[in-house]
Structure 1
Amino acid sequence: MAGKLKVAVRWQGRALPGVTQRLRAVGIAALQRAGAEEGELSVLLCDDRTMELLNRHFRHKPKPTDVLSFPAHDRLPTGTVHLGDVAISLETAARQAEAAGHSLERELCLLLIHGALHVCGFDHEQDQGEMEALEAQLREELL
């Protein structure tokens, strides 16, 4: 099943060594556990300014946030299914990692799991705890 899933990671600035591969692996595992069988997820790692622009445009909130998810599930002309996009603010993630006492890499993985679940249709604001439970399981298994 993993051969049918792909996570494309794009860094707005310089990539952190080794983190891209880790994010791809965590992203694929999260997508699998969320029930995705095929497709590609695009991940953008950006600064707070870019995240603020995205948050303002799509959610009408004029401030940066840690992660945004944009489900798509569109079949592209190539036949590939574009599952959606996840944007993660590196600056916000770094602040959250420091506050939590863990690495930036771990925080990025946590945010990617959260975003991937949203792309797959989970919604912690609407469900009865299913997303939170799966997220906790994935944190334990993958991190």
Structure 2
Amino acid sequence: MAIQFTAHEVSLGLKNRTALKKFLTDLFKREGQGLSGLHYIFCTDEYLLQINQQYLNHDTYTDIVTFEMSDDPAITEGEIYVSLDRVKENAKQFGVSVEHELHRVIFHGALHLCGFKDKTKKEEALMREKEEENLHLYFKK
């Protein structure tokens, strides 16, 4: 099982990658979801907008787009695209560090692949709760 972090036309200052990979592996275990592979691609607003338009028919900027690539619902093989432009903007808007917001989005994508949704108010509230839980677990060291 491999977890990869790739920067596409951006500079990625992601610290403690080994610890983060272990944490993500453990997140999937805690949620009872198998994991065969996970690839995070960090990119610009423009690149993610193209993906959003091409694959999801959404003409909006977003911080994250998540794709499940596996045919087996019990085993995740995922690609997660993250706009660092949006992460930085959201960090300012929410009054948190870029590092904190980046990890929130990283966990958000993983949680989507574990089956959590955020379309309704109830789903969104649970997603925020799970994000906070994982941020707390990760940064409590």
TM-score by length of 1: 0.77
Structure 1: distance between partners of 2:118 and 2:63? 16
Asked if the contact 1:19–1:105 (Cα under 8 Å) also holds between the matched residues in 2, the reply is no
Of 79, 93, 96, the residue aligned with 2:90 is 96
Deviation string, structure 1 residues 63-86 (Cα, Å, up to 9, x no partner): 2200111112258xxxxx662111
1:139 deviates by: 2.4
Q: Percent identity?
A: 22
Matched position secondary structure for 1:73: coil
Which consecutive aligned stretches of 4+ in structure 1 deviate over 6 angstroms post-superposition? none
Match status 1:85 vs 2:82: no
Aligned residue pairs, count: 134
Distance 1:15 1:134, change over 3 A: closer
Q: Is the Cα–Cα contact under 8 Å of residues 26 and 113 in structure 1 kept in the other structure?
A: no
CA-CA distance at 1:36 after TM superposition: 2.6
RMSD of Structure 2 on Structure 1 (CA): 2.5
Distance verdict in 2 for CA 1:97–1:33, change over 3 Å: same
Give the whole-Å Cα distance in 1 for the aligned partners of 2:89 and 2:121: 29
Q: Unpaired runs of 5+ in structure 2?
A: none
Q: Does 1:42 find its partner at 2:36?
A: no
Following the alignment from structure 1 to structure 2, what is the Cα–Cα distance between the partners of residues 128 and 68?
Answer: 21
1:24 aligns with 2:21: yes
TM-score by length of 2: 0.78
CA distance in 2, matches of 1:107, 1:40: 23
Quote the offset at 1:128 in angstroms.
5.0
Q: Which residue of 2 aligns with 1:7?
A: 3
Q: Which residue of 2 aligns with 1:107?
A: 101
132, 135, 138: which one aligns with 2:131: 135
Conserved 8 A contact 2:116-2:127: yes
What is the identity, as a one-letter code, of the residue corresponding to 2:136? E
